[in-house]
Structures are given as C-alpha cells and as structure tokens.
C-alpha cells in the first residue's frame, strides 16, 4: 500500500486494515476493565446517542437490535424537539423495552454531548459532520467506545484532529467503528474480496456515480436565529456538511478505495456547480460534482454525483474495468474470465445492522475494532474533490491533508446567538484555499 499520510498518523492502524472491512479484526491484548465486564455476557452496555436525526435514531435502533443487553440510556441534540422525538420513536419501536432514557437523560443544547458521554459506555456520534472531531475527542478522552458516522470532518484540520483521536483510541483499546456501512454488507465483501484477489486482472479504469433526487429542507421558523436556521438545514452549508460530495457520495468513493486495498489517490481535478438548487435557501452547497481522481500508478477514477429534484435519471453504481473483466460493485457481479454473481440465499444482510452486530459482538469479546484510518482517508478523498471543484485547481492528497483552512467557527465555543459564516457560493478560478 502506498502511504501519503505521515507515518505517525498512518502506521497506528496497520493491524486493523482487514480486507473484509471490519469482520476479520484480530483480538488485541489488554482490554479495558469495562470490556472484561461486558465479555461476561450478562452485563448491560449503556449506549448514548448524540445527534437525534433520522440516521442517529436508525443507528440507535441498530445498536439495540444487535444485543439484548444493550440499553439506550441518554440522548442529546442541539435541539430539544429532535432529542424528544428520537426517544419517542425508539420507545414505540419493537426495541422499546431497551429504551431506558429518563426525562433527566434527554439533553439539549450545544453542550449536550458532554452529559451523554458521561452517562454512557458506548456513544453513537450522528451529529452534523462539523461537530464530529470535537465529539470524538471528548469520547476518547472520557474512555468511551464510539460509532462514528460519516464524514468525520469537513476540512483538513478536522481530519487531522480525528486521526489523532483514533490514534489515542487505539492506545486506550477503545472501539472506533465507522458509519461507512457498505464495508459491513456481506455481498459487498464478497464482491470486493474477489476484486482484491485479482479477478479483474490489472485494473485500467474505474467509475462511480451517485445521482439522486433532492433531499429535505426544514424551512425557517419565526424565532430562529440565523445559526439555528443553518444548523437545522445543515446539508446546504459547507462549513457544517462538507457538501454532498462528502456527505453522501463518500459511500461511492469509499467502495472504490476499499477495492483498491485502501490505497488512495494522490491528486484530482473536478468541476461542479448549482444547476438546480439555486435558491438562497440552499446556502453555498453545490448540487453536482464531476471529479477525476488519479492514483500514483496513473490509474484514474471518474466520479460523478448530483442531487437534482425531478431529474428522471438516477444512478448509484460503481464500476471497475480490468484486463480480465469488469465488475459492478453495487450490483455484485463480475464479467469476464472470472465471472461471478452474488446469489441471494435469503440470509439477512442489512449493512446498517451488520456493523452494529459486529460492534457489540466484538465488544463482548474484548476484540477491538478501529476503522479510524479508512474513515479519515475516505473523508479526505471527498474533501479534496470538493476543494478541486470549488477552486478549479488540481488538489493533491497531501495538500488537502495539510490544509490550514478551517471552514467554520470554533465548534467548542459555538453559540446559537452568534452569527454563522455567511454562505458564499464558490466560484472556480476565484475561490482560493490555504
């Protein structure tokens, strides 16, 4: 594997680079005392949720479904209504008996994460991406195991912070599992394993596409500050979401990187803009990107994504082309000399559930999962594509990693009364990055 991250940041996860994306991690010695307790099988594992939107609530449900000894004991969100709605929804689900969130454990406000961490053994981080570095560092400092949704940061400084947190987590034998869930889907694992084993021969070109319709917008309510408005509609503000190339298309980029045995591109060029979402309410986010990533060998990935409401052509696919055949990763099929197709045998294969099943099974055994390196590398791969599109310039992996540009204000001291960054749509050739 070719490395471009400084060794002090990359070497620490060599032991966790399992080809099957998290299902084949070797046990690590010296598990924490609470892991020894959990390994007895009867102990309750207390879970806390930070970020109570749809993905957060989904992750909490998956955690409860993974292990009957798991209890949800605390939730936190910037907004009280979001936290209360999540508890209500989960309590009314078929896992409601495992929801043990009392009214005094429903936390709200920008500091709610601290109370959730204090109450929990395992913390699910599903907030707006800009908050991820701060929240992960707080969890690791407190000795808590974490499930970390994607992307893990919105800029280079944030990625570096998360890398350091993951290094510290490894030292403390703390679990860090990524929300890049395709790596835990068994049919994807079988497809990728064959590609990694050489079924396509020498790979000459790759393509991935994530073309979808529009997403939600929560509008604006009387009494909201501008900060609250942006936080409630975070998808459309790059300082909060990293833009949809990172927030959504990261899944496609991560699948490609996985197929490449976690070797990442060294540079990229890109274009993008706002063809459909031009209204002021959509902040500064683009609605389409086209990116060409290049590896050290000269191999190229042609990547495209868009979110266009009403456009009839939708496509989520990943293709690799080699000397012995071609593969459709999303479709789980290989053509050519080593033709193969995944056959559904009826075994449940929900990638969201799978990763939580692995998380808690390993936690019970004291076997540490740390997905930190690839979740940071794939986030950075998306960020460098966004930077290239916004500036119109070629952007290298190293430049993105070592960038000093912070997209937003200091998250640790953020208040709902302060003015958020004014959304300014990037203009290639004019917009600059440091």
How many angstroms separate the most distant Cα atoms in the chain?
A: 64
Tell me if 112 sits within 8 A of 83, measured CB to CB. yes
Compute φ and ψ for 202, nearest 5 degrees: -80, 125
Digit-coded pLDDT (tens) for 374-404: 999 999 999 999 999 999 999 999 999 999 9
Q: Are strands 395-396 and 267-273 parallel, antiparallel or unpaired?
A: antiparallel
Digit-coded pLDDT (tens) for 313-368: 899 999 999 999 999 999 999 999 999 999 999 999 999 999 999 999 999 999 99
Structure tokens at 317: 């696919």
Beta strands in 118-266 (DSSP E): 122-125, 145-148, 176-178, 203-212
Q: What angle do CA 243, 420, 401 make, to 5 degrees?
A: 45
Domains belonging to the chain, first-starting first, are 7-183+352-372 (3.40.50.720), 186-345+379-413 (3.30.360.10)
| Residue among 319, 318, 305, 328 nearest 213 (CA) | 305
What is the rounded CA–CA span in Å between residue 251 and residue 185? 12
Structure tokens at 142: 């407190």
Digit-coded pLDDT (tens) for 19-65: 333 333 323 333 343 544 444 455 999 999 999 999 999 999 999 99
How far is CA 92 from its chain centroid?
Answer: 27
Q: Is 324 helix (H, G, I), strand (E, B) or coil?
A: coil
Q: Is 344 helix (H, G, I), strand (E, B) or coil?
A: coil
Digit-coded pLDDT (tens) for 196-245: 999 999 999 999 999 999 999 999 999 999 999 999 999 999 999 999 99
pTM: 0.91
pLDDT, residue 274, reads 98
């Amino acid at each position: 594997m070719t490395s471009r991250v400084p060794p002090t940041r990359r070497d620490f996860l060599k032991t966790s680079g399992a080809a099957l994306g998290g299902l084949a991690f070797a046990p690590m010695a010296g598990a924490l005392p609470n892991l020894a307790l959990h390994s007895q099988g009867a102990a309750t594992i207390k879970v806390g949720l930070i970020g109570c939107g749809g993905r957060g609530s989904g992750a909490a449900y998956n955690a409860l479904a993974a292990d009957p000894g798991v209890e949800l004991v605390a939730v936190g969100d910037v907004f009280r209504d979001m936290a209360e709605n999540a508890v209500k929804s989960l309590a009314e689900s078929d896992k409601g008996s495992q929801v043990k969130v009392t009214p005094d454990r429903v936390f709200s406000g920008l500091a709610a994460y601290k109370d959730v961490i204090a109450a929990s053994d395992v913390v699910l981080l599903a907030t707006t991406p800009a908050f991820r570095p701060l929240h992960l560092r707080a969890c690791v400092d407190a000795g808590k195991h974490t499930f970390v949704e994607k992307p893990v940061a919105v800029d280079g400084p944030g990625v570096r912070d998360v890398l350091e947190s993951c290094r510290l987590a490894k030292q403390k034998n703390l679990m860090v599992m990524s929300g890049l869930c395709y790596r835990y889907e068994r049919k994807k694992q079988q497809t990728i394993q064959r590609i990694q084993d050489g079924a396509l021969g020498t790979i000459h070109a790759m393509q991935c596409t994530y073309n979808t319709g529009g997403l939600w917008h929560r509008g604006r309510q009387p009494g909201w500050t501008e900060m609250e408005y942006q936080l409630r509609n975070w998808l459309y503000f790059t300082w909060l979401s990293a833009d949809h190339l990172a927030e959504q298309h990261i899944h496609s980029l991560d699948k490609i990187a996985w197929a490449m045995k976690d070797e990442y591109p060294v540079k990229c060029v890109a274009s993008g803009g706002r063809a459909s979402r031009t209204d002021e309410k959509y902040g500064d986010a683009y609605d389409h990107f086209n990116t060409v990533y290049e590896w050290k060998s000269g191999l190229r990935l042609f990547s495209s994504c868009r979110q266009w409401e009403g456009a009839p052509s939708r496509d989520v696919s990943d293709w690799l082309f080699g000397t012995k055949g071609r593969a459709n990763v999303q479709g789980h099929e290989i053509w050519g000399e080593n033709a193969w197709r995944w056959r559904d045998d009826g075994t449940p294969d929900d990638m969201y559930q799978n990763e939580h099943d692995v998380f808690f099974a390993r936690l019970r055994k004291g076997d540490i999962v740390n997905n930190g390196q690839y979740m940071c590398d794939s986030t950075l791969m998306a960020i460098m594509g966004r930077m290239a599109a916004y500036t119109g310039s070629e952007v290298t992996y190293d430049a993105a990693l070592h960038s000093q540009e912070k997209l937003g204000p200091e998250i640790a001291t953020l208040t709902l009364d302060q003015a958020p960054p004014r959304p300014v749509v990037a203009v290639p050739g004019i917009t600059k990055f440091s």
